[in-house]
Structure 1
């Protein structure tokens, strides 16, 4: 038997005959049971939902159930279970459940790049609708919520179907409909085949959607894309302008970052500067025109393309050229230096120009994958993942998740094997054909030797001996600086005699390439070989200065390695080594017994660099030094990992402490957390003598992720004692940033381990940054006693201290708190001025998530007097938080929009926004406490406005419990957060 609740409640037997169900009460009863087939529904809920006054008695309800059983017959079983009833039918026999399954499968197919299958599934899903969902249920909260959810899924499925059709439309494809089961109702049977409409044919439907949902941005974006696809660029721009105007007039909001990005694409603006661009190429691109065109064509219709082939065949170069041909936004991520999959998401965040968490610690211990999904959820971007073969399982899992969650994302990967996930289009990159190989060798030979000339037969013989592999050809051509072409050909014949005969398998090609690298290596002097093999310890390249020291060599030797193509100069004074050469050199380094010594030299260099940078990151030089450490991020992490693996505890502790200020300011502490956790396991329960402060800093870094919480609980007490010993009284320790982080990490704990007193004692410290931080912390202490005047004086002095040092990080923290105090006493103009100044500082640091947090704060300051300006700030903050991949920043923006919806008496929208915000807030993270308090209070106000006093009391109690963690009395904490006085009284009374 089949059931329908997507419209009038109906039932059909297997032969398609409709079952007479009886009156409205019986139909409503069946609909309520079918909302969750197989799940028990309490009898009292059924009674309350059956009509405006409920069923008159349990006996009356039982009577209705008996009549419904009789109408349905034995094909559908209605069971009494405990205190309720349930209907025992398969999910797929209910049209709503079947719709949800088909819609989810359609969206998944769209996410995997299989637009044809997506269209088939989504059309089948949407054809199940016969009218409004749950049309015969009486008006009730349950019915309203269920109907709203189903209608929202219907709209999303319609949007997904249109997007899939847009991808296929230009090919005029025919999409077969899936066969229906025999007992599906005849009126729902589709046509046997339907063609995919052209983009122009979708325009009327999209205009109607935009008309019905004028403030929903996805239909507007789809309409813009459809118009652009059929050549009506000007019309597409008009749609954007109309949408922008409606958002401004009705919400006071700007278009989202995603819609604005589509607008920029239509205006042919360049890609965003924040993602990492493909590496600039210093040589011409030879012999891959057809492959490049094929890859470009694939990327126009497929969402995942993988280039496979042996090492040295040219996969990376082809991907770079394909990315360069893209007109939209591109991000290039090089994975060769990544040791394992644990840091994969971190690398992609870095390539996208995003930080792990905010300057103000607003992100909490959220995972990098969550941040990636948030950042890419509706962003039109081509992500190029180069050298995936050593992480193929981890890359496949992450790519599958990103493509499913981010419908406008495309991925181009290079690997020696496919990723093996749905929707993947694999293209094997083969060696150059004979003519192209000759052209490549000739081009590179002329660059290496002026006046190069050789017969094409000789060049062809050289290239054939090299299996026409581009990397092998380039390495061989570079030898012409010291050899003539005849000598080169003779040596190649001797070296490659075995592999030059007959057909070669890919493995043989790879061995040929290795032979060429081996031969190139043999031509190096001993000093060049030593420098080259030691260079392999760098991750992601190195500056010339770093290479000179770690490789223990001179500039002439490095220049010679560049001339011989063993190293590449990539600009900015940096050198890098091709991955194939690096892997070979690493083997030579191990064979020479020099690996441990080279790694120690590498760790010492980057420890010295971090120690040099650390004090400068708390002063005006921070803008100059942050990029230095950003460029060396992979090297710092590699040095830390190797030191931990070698159990060189002293070096590892000093390195994590010296780099900690950079990690916190840039928001990437989580990238070092796995090594910090492993290091603490090696250290044990007590810090090494003389390294207590480094040990405490390591504990803080470990605690920056959820995985580090056990380590934090185990080591917190010992770390607190070690930090107190390092900063006794007014004496200064080595890492003052750790003091501030220690207090903030302990602020919400029942026992703070003396964190507040420890930091506050540094108000007279000889270290100026520590003094400013101590004054900042002291201000919170004064707030805890209710002395806001004293608190403001402390914060003012802290701000002066940070400004005198030129530290934008500390100054932004302090200005934000001062703005909150000004807002709390009603001085909105002062609050906005201070927030604007903090925003200017975070802009200099390039902190998107911190800017989002400050925009929310400014929105809070403006909400009472200028709600439209507040709405614009919340909307901008939401867009920035999505770009930054910050769940906490997005939660704060949604909470602000919820406040405005409540102010406008839109209870349903307010509840939706508050609920969405609450799901994104980490309740244990100190910087999220304020937003949690306000969100819970908002949900309490919504419940109270609906007359649901029990729920209101429960929400107010939760809000008060969270407010108590701020440190002052609950009423004072609520006032400091800017909550209206009636809300303060309501929450405090619970």
Structure 2
């Protein structure tokens, strides 16, 4: 016998469905089933069957209902009488509600233990037991509420599991949000699911919708958890997601189990090129890991900062990463370490020793060689896995492909290397397996007779690539060799202008698996690119193209379409760095122009450390000159020399980074400092961006000097109009922040700060968001200390993620003032001492130090009073 209450009440015997009877027998069966195997007290059964008006002889009436139910079930022994009540003689797993509860509990436990795959299976099975609303045809509202709450909790857990697996259903979650609009957990799931699908704008809008509804309906702000998801998505606009895979993952079960079983915080996947180390790492990591592709990198810490979406500060990059990662439970994938092995090893050791919750999964052709490293070799695929991989990939290009005896020969001859197998499988579009097998055999013999000192798998891998090269016609070979020049892949426009081939030839290379096409970009696997680049290079054409792109992009970075242009340059970051590096060695004059055109992009992106080495190299190769380009180069390579060079400049300023570098290095101007020609050049500039920058800067400085607040506000608003006309968000945010300082109305200051926050959110500038959030808290101190505290904590969290020591110190200073006001001077002093320890050198840190010291002095005076 089985009883179902997750829907209409039902009973099923081995002979089929049982006709239970009317409402009271169904209710009685449901009440007993909910406590199957337990004695249900008589008074409880009477109360729930008859409500507030039971019959005069309730005990006999209940006994009559029990008799009817026994006859309906066809087995009187199923319902036992006891002096205290009645018992349904069924095991819990014979009632769907109990099976549901057990499966849901196991599913939630699996999710908590980090196994979303098992959790999804169990929770889906649990929810599959529901046939409709609980107890749909009986009147038991309290029980219905309890069961539906359990159903809702299981549904949420299932969504959480699917989000971890990267396969949540946005439509399903949206429907649940419409049913439960104030459920912040569902709102968070919706934001995460949208973000996983690359729909960041919609995810951010979902947060704004939730924030508005909560404020309107409840008068509250989003919870800390929802704000954390919002911040994660904001970081995700620059935080590199795991690369999406276009084909199925086959084999490697043993390696996946081994990786899952290892407790080491550093695991290195080792093996030859083409063994599938990267793909295995991505499969083992799952969603949420931080992926750092070191293949095009020259500077490992800089590449890791870029992957995290962080800009450079005065802190060393390693310390910056520590600040961002030390309080996070995260998995960092360092991919393709072999060409930067020593630097990758140093960074891994530093981060593992300073970030106790961090784990590192590295891929390399050789071990990192540091203490605590666990090696996980990635061997050749087993024969059956090789054949399965070949068959799967062959059917992508030839749906009618059927495995035969030559398939096994091909996989054996390719030593089970996934890259070689995939390349060979792609040929089944035009060749038979027998033809492929015979060609591979000839190629192996040729290479073995050549370089016997090379590793065998390098020989076979080279054989596959070289054989693929032999299959190309003259145009395809020329394009393959030219395309190999690009270190970061290429757009169609770049292929056509640099390589000078049309799309038909490019599509032929895609068809032959020598080039991957994804998101409008064309890339080569590293091994193929290395082979093809030996035949031809187009470095000069490549550098000229990216110089033209940088020159075209630079003014756009300060205009209405700046968000799109920043994204475009970010996508070309590796190629831009390659162009600067090549030009530094072969055409220093061109390199100097590239540095000028890229300086504002690098500043906003925060790439100072990454470009410093190149800048130093270029500085040694170009003659000293009194030009804007040379001043920019000094700002990147030798900042201590910049102020001297700025005094020599006489021409018009074309690149705004000169002004930013001037301000960053010199700090606020000293009125007693003699004017230089650069002052006159800036003040006479016709560049609207520079005029806007100068307008609010001079207005604010003149106010501090003569106290004319009204004039300063008017000049700043004129600067804001100029930036708005340009559509420039960064400049607008700076002016809005200044206006917030100038106004005497605290509510207006708050509104201006919120507008500035929205401006930098569009740029995804996490550092500016952290700084402005802290200043918003400052402006809330006299209005709403509870809200100020929330903003300080959020600023502290964002500054920690972004590695901003000065912003952290200022946030802790604000929290100390709140603690002091609440009568907790010990806590206030602790926060201020922590803030002191955060700070280093530079005028921004000096300004923060002054605020900390002022707060300490105020605290001391209050204790003496």
How does the TM-score come out when normalised to structure 2? 0.70
Change (3 A) 1:264 1:939: closer
Q: CA deviation at 1:928?
A: 4.1
Change (3 A) 1:681 1:900: farther
| Aligned residue number for residue 310 of structure 2 | 355
Change (3 A) 1:916 1:900: same
CA distance in 1, matches of 2:349, 2:318: 12
Q: Equivalent of 1:939, from 844, 853, 856?
A: 856
Task: Report the secondary structure of 1:379's partner residue.
Answer: coil
1:432 to 2:381 alignment? yes
CA distance in 2, matches of 1:447, 1:630: 32
Q: CA deviation at 1:428?
A: 0.7
1:476-534 CA-to-partner distances (Å, cap 9, x unmatched) read: 22223333322222211211137789xx9992112111121122112222322222222
Stretch moving more, 541-550 or 897-906 = 897-906
| Aligned residue number for residue 773 of structure 1 | 693
Change (3 A) 1:302 1:387: same
CA distance in 2, matches of 1:271, 1:694: 32
Change (3 A) 1:540 1:370: same
Q: Equivalent of 1:600, from 524, 535, 540?
A: 540
Q: CA deviation at 1:744?
A: 4.2
Change (3 A) 1:803 1:930: farther
CA distance in 2, matches of 1:757, 1:787: 27
Unaligned runs of 5+ in 2: 1-111, 115-159, 162-184, 186-219
Q: Given that residues 568 and 576 in structure 1 are in contact (C-alpha distance below 8 angstroms), is that contact kept between their aligned partners in structure 2?
A: yes
1:477 to 2:416 alignment? no
**1:586-665, aligned counterparts within 5 Å?**
586-589=533-536, 595=537, 598-646=538-586, 648-665=587-604
Change (3 A) 1:754 1:438: farther
Q: CA deviation at 1:886?
A: 2.0
CA distance in 2, matches of 1:562, 1:274: 28
CA distance in 2, matches of 1:434, 1:303: 32
1:331 to 2:304 alignment? no
Q: Equivalent of 2:524, from 577, 594, 598?
A: 577
| Aligned residue number for residue 775 of structure 2 | 857
**1:860-939, aligned counterparts within 5 Å?**
860-925=778-843, 927-939=844-856
CA distance in 1, matches of 2:352, 2:666: 38
Task: Report the secondary structure of 1:726's partner residue.
Answer: coil
Change (3 A) 1:763 1:712: closer
**1:436-835, aligned counterparts within 5 Å?**
436-453=385-402, 455=404, 457-497=405-445, 507-571=455-519, 573-589=520-536, 595=537, 598-646=538-586, 648-687=587-626, 692-700=627-635, 702=636, 708=637, 711-722=638-649, 725-727=650-652, 733-748=653-668, 758-759=678-679, 762=682, 765-789=685-709, 790-822=711-743, 826-835=744-753
Q: CA RMSD in A?
A: 3.3
Q: Given that residues 294 and 336 in structure 2 are in contact (C-alpha distance below 8 angstroms), is that contact kept between their aligned partners in structure 1?
A: yes
CA distance in 1, matches of 2:351, 2:782: 39
CA distance in 2, matches of 1:447, 1:549: 31
Change (3 A) 1:288 1:414: same
CA distance in 2, matches of 1:748, 1:762: 16
Change (3 A) 1:605 1:499: closer
Task: Report the secondary structure of 1:413's partner residue.
Answer: strand
Give the total of aligned pairs.
651
Change (3 A) 1:613 1:259: closer
Q: Given that residues 374 and 882 in structure 1 are in contact (C-alpha distance below 8 angstroms), is that contact kept between their aligned partners in structure 2?
A: yes
**1:89-100, aligned counterparts within 5 Å?**
none
Stretch moving more, 847-856 or 289-298 = 289-298
Q: Given that residues 381 and 408 in structure 1 are in contact (C-alpha distance below 8 angstroms), is that contact kept between their aligned partners in structure 2?
A: yes
Change (3 A) 1:740 1:756: farther
How does the TM-score come out when normalised to structure 1? 0.61
Q: CA deviation at 1:788?
A: 3.3
Change (3 A) 1:872 1:716: same
CA distance in 1, matches of 2:458, 2:833: 56
CA distance in 2, matches of 1:309, 1:781: 61
Q: CA deviation at 1:401?
A: 1.7
Q: CA deviation at 1:911?
A: 2.5
Q: CA deviation at 1:384?
A: 1.4
Q: CA deviation at 1:755?
A: 7.2
1:304-362 CA-to-partner distances (Å, cap 9, x unmatched) read: 221111111111111121123x5xx21211111113xxx2112112212x2314xxxxx
Q: Given that residues 465 and 499 in structure 1 are in contact (C-alpha distance below 8 angstroms), is that contact kept between their aligned partners in structure 2?
A: no
Q: CA deviation at 1:832?
A: 0.9
Q: CA deviation at 1:918?
A: 2.5
CA distance in 2, matches of 1:425, 1:583: 29
Unaligned runs of 5+ in 1: 1-165, 169-227, 230-236, 238-251, 358-362, 590-594, 703-707, 728-732, 949-990
**1:348-387, aligned counterparts within 5 Å?**
348-352=304-308, 354-357=309-312, 363=313, 365-387=314-336
Change (3 A) 1:530 1:468: same
